[in-house]
């Protein structure tokens, strides 16, 4: 292969590259697209910072009431889903606290009141009871629902899973609350 053949091959590659670049530039000139001033997709928590009360209210607004789902909740399914919780929580009567507090009889009890467990300031100062709706919000996204909690669990995304777990936790009590 002589140098003339090499020059023809190199010229063919360069010409092809220039044609592609030219077509791209011509296309950009004809079809100019401006970047929108306001993003169409807003990433939650990045655009603005909210106080803890606003975030809590926002989470509550997003969640539908759990009460209608409790009517069809399955305690057996709740026991299966609760296995995710069992790594840190004990649900047996008189069971010891683990990384998290024991959860026997927790439904309708004061938040942060299990004897012998050291709660975060956020939970011990929350001042509410574990109602079905409070449990629903907390189990959905614990760290967003009560800012400052030490519970490092991502949450249960499915409404039916939360309803099943709440029904299961409610059944683990001396006097279960009626599922309305």
The model's pLDDT over 31-59, given as tens digits with 9 standing for 90+, comes to 877 777 877 777 776 655 444 555 555 54
Class of the 52-171 domain?
mainly alpha
CB atoms within 10 A of CB 129: 14
pTM metric for this prediction: 0.64
- Burial class of residue 102, CB neighbours in 10 A (0-12, 13-18, 19+): buried
Q: Within the chain, how many helices (H) and strands (E) appear?
A: 8, 0
**Contact, 131 vs 108, CB < 8 A?**
yes
1-22 per-position pLDDT tens digit: 677 898 999 999 999 999 999 9
């Amino acid at each position: 292969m002589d140098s003339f053949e090499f020059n023809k091959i190199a010229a063919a590659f360069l010409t092809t590259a220039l044609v592609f670049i030219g077509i791209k530039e011509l296309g950009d000139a004809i079809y100019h697209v401006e970047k929108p001033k306001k993003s169409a997709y807003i990433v939650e928590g990045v655009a603005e910072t909210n106080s803890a009360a606003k975030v809590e209210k926002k989470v509550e607004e997003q969640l539908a009431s759990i009460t209608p789902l409790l009517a069809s909740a399955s305690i057996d399914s709740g026991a299966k889903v609760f296995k995710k919780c069992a790594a840190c929580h004990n649900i047996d009567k008189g069971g010891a606290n683990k990384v998290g507090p024991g959860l026997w009889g927790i439904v309708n009890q004061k938040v942060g009141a299990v004897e012998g467990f050291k709660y975060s300031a956020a939970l011990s100062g929350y001042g509410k009871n574990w109602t079905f709706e409070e449990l629903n919000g907390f189990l959905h996204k614990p760290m967003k629902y009560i800012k400052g909690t030490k519970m490092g669990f991502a949450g249960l995304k499915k409404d039916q899973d939360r309803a099943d777990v709440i029904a299961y936790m409610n059944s683990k009590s001396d006097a279960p609350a009626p599922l309305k």
